[in-house]
Structure 1
Amino acid sequence: MSIAYEVPAEPGIARRNAWILTVAQSFGGANAPIVISLGGLVGQQLSRDPELITLPVSLLNLGLALGTLPAVFVMRRFGRRSGYLLGTMIGMAAGLVAAMGIVFSSFMVFCLGTCTAGFYSSYVQSYRFAAADNTSGPQAQKAIARVMVGGLVAAIIGPQLVIWTRDAVPGISFAGSFLSQAALGALAFPVLWFLRSSSVQKMEGQHVAERPLLQILTSRRYLLAIATGVVSYGLMTFVMTASPIAMVGHGHSIDQAALGIQWHILAMYGPSFVTGRLMVRFGKERVAAVGLLLIGSSAAVALSGYDVAHFWVSLVLLGVGWNFGFIGATSMVADCHTPAERSKVQGANDFLVFGTVACASFSAGSLLHSSGWETINWIVLPAVALVLVPLVWRAARPRLV
């Protein structure tokens, strides 16, 4: 009987892949900030229903959730590199379709473009797992954090492109920003061309153990990793989706809202320089727990006032909290599977995380319209407590599975 298995890449190739993925993250990671910064504002221009103004951002997250499992299938069938190259082409199409929707004043076409951008993001989000494909233990944690550093560059590129290109097409605000989104996908294509995959060999007469997914899902360790990722990413998206609209609604400018998102995304990825080392030293569960505490603190700041400083400080705390919580959760997931189980375990995790994120994003717009900015932030506190308690309990008992 022949069993296919992956041969780990040499350490030098693994490091090279991590840097390639970091650069690709710099381009691909800027895809979402453009939609997040402008989706609600363009929605205000194109939608007649005020409850639908954040629908374009929500569809970004829906596309991300729906694209997760197809992306896993493509990469498992054709390899990481081929899948990622396809992803960049989807990213190019997304920017072009969204720009077309703005040019022709079609809310439906614009929403199609932002949903397609979510499908591109489903590939970009898996860069973090790809960095850990050929490493384990502390090196895997550092590789995951290193790739997330690329988001720091994306945090600068995305919002700045919004500011620089929003009037690039004369008489049609924001169309130029989505054309620049398409250009970012084009720039990522040649970078990912140089990605090297693990070689696949066959092993005669041996059986590679692979547990059913349902059995893996019954593991408390895996369930806690998923819950941590769901709460970290879900709450971050829930608040971030509503924040630009809330800022403009409280009398702040579009540029201040875009810069607030930029500071937020800088805070999301900036700590990645040290997150890997912190996890090695203190443990991924402890780092994730601190992340959830910071997310709770961001809600407290948001509830304390409506000045620009309140919004920006809240968004920064939210970003750092997401970094610790989500990277910690990613490392927790990476410890819950064998190489043979990798695709389905990672795919199930991302489907559940980003499916929840999509639901959070959809509810943010209508809740902001019906109940206000304060209600959104009050919801954060019990959600944090729900996962923080078992996470702290797990961190105190690291050997329990």
Structure 2
Amino acid sequence: MFLAVFIPGFDVMSTAALLQDGDPDKLARHNARCLSLALALGGANSTINFALDGILGSQLAPSRELTTLPITAFVVGSLATAIPASLLMARIGRKPGFLLGGVIGMTGGLVAAAGVIASSFWLFCLGTFLAGSYLSWTQFFRFAAADTATPAFRPKAISWVLAGGLAAAFIGPQIVINAKDALPGLTYVGPYIGSTLVILLSMGFIALTRWPKMDTSSREATISRPLSEIIRQPRFVVAVAIGMLSYAAMNLVMTAAPVAMVVQCGYSITDSTLGIQWHVVAMYAPSFFTGSLIARYGKIKVMSAGLVLLGLCVVVGYAGYSVAHFWAALVLLGLGWNLAYVSATALVADCHHPAERGKVQGLNDFLVFGLVSLASLASGILQNYGGWHAVLSALVPMLGLAVIALVILLTSQRRLARAG
């Protein structure tokens, strides 16, 4: 197959052959590459929605308070899908689940396009809700990459998958810029149709993934503790908390940024779209080495570095209203999110046994996107009534809570070390 020629290390062997090769992580690397390529294409859906939903919301919404409701619907779609998607994949498998998610995402793009054509705010919101549901499925790519990986390779597998988002950072904005006027008299319809096409291509790489049946011969593979026991682990609580707060902080600022640049400051759609592009580049480019950083310095230190960068985003955002200030703040926002979120994801993956994946990963993403949906809605309110600086100010207490969570975990670990 041509992919084996043009993509170094890409393997099209059967599941059995990959497992019998003698390399314990050969299957994990194969799946991580497939999932990375799938995210590179499917992730463009998110970039398109984040770049345009708020702007179209300001044009279609019946009141300015509802300007960011389309993005909120996008995030709520992710929230509503997280637990059902995780539990369904536990029953039918990763590949069928991800393909179903792709069909939902394509439907969302077409419905959103129909909403723009009909100038129907609520139909547009339904489309973004379905597009957000697809986002929830793609969020499980990172956990899926860890499923077949050894503990040593797990952080790298997660990073490899998220690195696919780097391509999405360019694909999505270019679709917006080049397709927004592709259909005469139907401005902004083209990008949503374009999103359906890249999702379809993404599904091709999902079809190439290989998933073995769960090995039930070992005791670890069959252990399934009550959820109440799992969530009492201090490291699980902190991992989820950091994941929630870092993602919510990122979404709060990213959602408001296009509106702040175009509506508040009068910059062009191209300026705001390129700002989102470089933000998404910053979100995913570090994934090429985040896994190695975690392996060398540990999850807690890398998380802490991520929170520092998120704090710097606030400082730079407050410093001025130029395009350069917006772009620099968005880049710092993306870098901070990557370090904090990848570390949190790796820590969650350490907190459960194979038989517990469905309920633990579903709960994690439900909580993450629950807070993200509130942040998305709050973003529109803060931007409309307080402006860009009000949005940035909201990050301060969120980062404060994240720091407190880290301190609690470190204190708990030291106490256990003394007791041991």
TM range (shorter): over 0.9
1:335 alignment partner in structure 2 = 350
**2:78 is matched with which residue: 64, 71, 91?**
64
Pair 1:359-2:374 in alignment: yes
Opposite residue 148 of structure 1, the aligned amino acid is L
Q: Which segment is superposed worse, 315-324 or 361-370? A: 361-370
Q: Is the 8 A contact 1:291 1:324 kept in 2?
A: yes
Aligned partners of 1:274 and 1:205: how far apart in 2?
A: 34
Matched residue, 1:162: 176
1:30 corresponds in structure 2 to: 44
Distance 1:174 1:207, change over 3 A: closer
The Cα of 1:277 is off from its aligned counterpart by 0.5
CA contact (8 A) 2:234 2:409 kept: no
Distance 1:70 1:208 in 2: 21
- Tell me the percent identity: 45
Partner of 1:309: 324
How many Å separate the matches in 2 of 1:390 and 1:112?
36
For residue 201 of structure 2, the aligned residue among 162, 174, 187 is 187
Cα offset, 1:378, TM superposition: 1.1
Does 1:289 pair with 2:304?
A: yes
Paired position in structure 2 for 1:298: 313
1:299-349, CA deviations, whole angstroms, 9 ceiling, x for partnerless residues?
111111101111000000000000001001001101111111121111111
User: In the TM superposition, what is the alpha-carbon distance from 1:28 to its structure 2 partner?
Assistant: 1.4
Gap change, CA 1:262 and 1:206, over 3 Å in 2: closer
Deviations 1:60-117 (Å, cap 9, x if unpaired)? 1000010101111221111000001111111111111100111111111111000000
Residue in structure 2 matching 1:230, options 223, 240, 244: 244
Shift of 1:390: 3.5
* Pick aligned residue for 1:142 from 156, 180, 191: 156
Unmatched tracts of structure 1, length 5 or more: 1-6
AA matched with 1:134: T
Q: Relative to 1, partners in 2 of residues 1:38 and 1:204: Cα closer, same or farther, differing over 3 Å?
A: closer
* Cα deviation digits, residues 8-60 of structure 1 (max 9, x gap): 95532221111000000101111111011000111122112111111111111
- CA 1:377 to 1:206, structure 2 compared with 1: closer, same or farther past 3 Å? closer
The change in CA–CA distance for 1:207 and 1:366 in structure 2 (over 3 A counts) is closer
Paired residues for 1:10-89 under 5 Å: 11-89=25-103
Cα distance in 2 for partners of 1:166, 1:205 equals: 55
Q: CA deviation at 1:202?
A: 5.1
- TM-score, length of structure 2 as denominator length: 0.90
What amino acid does structure 2 have at the position aligned with 1:177?
A: P
Structure 2 distance, partners of 1:97, 1:227, is 34
SS in 1 for 2:147: coil
**Residues 174-253 of structure 1 mapped to structure 2, 5 A cutoff:** 174-200=188-214, 203=217, 208-248=222-262, 249-253=264-268
In structure 2, how many angstroms separate the alpha carbons of the residues matched to 1:231 and 1:318? 13
Instruction: State whether residues 285 and 394 of structure 1, in contact with CA within 8 Å, keep that contact through their aligned partners in structure 2.
Output: no
How far residue 186 of structure 1 moved from its aligned partner, in angstroms, is 0.9
Give the aligned partner of residue 4 of structure 1: none
- In the TM superposition, structure 1's runs of 4+ consecutive aligned residues that sit over 3 Å from their partners are 7-10, 200-207, 392-401
Q: 2:161 and 2:353 mapped to 1: Cα distance? A: 22
Q: 2:286 aligns with which of 261, 268, 271?
A: 271
Residue 3 of structure 1 aligns with which residue? none
In 2, distance between residues paired with 1:234 and 1:381?
12
Residue in structure 1 matched with residue 119 of structure 2 by the alignment: 105
SS of match in other structure, 2:214: strand
- Distance in structure 2 (CA, Å) of the matches to 1:119 and 1:257: 25
Match of 2:398 in 1: 383
Contact 1:286/1:395 (CA < 8 Å) preserved in 2? no
How far residue 395 of structure 1 moved from its aligned partner, in angstroms, is 5.0
Shift of 1:209: 2.4
User: Which is further off, 116-125 or 375-384?
Assistant: 375-384
One-letter code of the match for 2:69? L
Provide the secondary structure at the position in 2 that maps to 1:199. Answer: coil
Q: Note closer, same or farther for the CA distance 1:396–1:153 as it changes in structure 2 (3 Å cut).
A: farther
CA distance in 2 between partners of 1:165 and 1:371 (Å): 33
Unaligned residue ranges in structure 2 (runs of 5+): 1-15
Partner-residue secondary structure (3-state), 1:125: helix
1:321 to 336, 347, 371: 336
* One-letter amino acid matched to 2:160: R
CA offset digits 1:178-201 (Å, max 9, x no partner)? 000111111112211111112235
Contact 1:286–1:392 (Cα < 8 Å) also in 2 = no
Equivalent-residue separation in structure 2 for 1:31 and 1:17 (angstroms): 21
Q: How far does residue 382 in structure 1 lie from its aligned partner after superposition?
A: 2.2
1:394, distance to aligned residue in structure 2 (A)? 3.5
Q: Distance in 2 between matches of 1:177 and 1:116?
A: 16
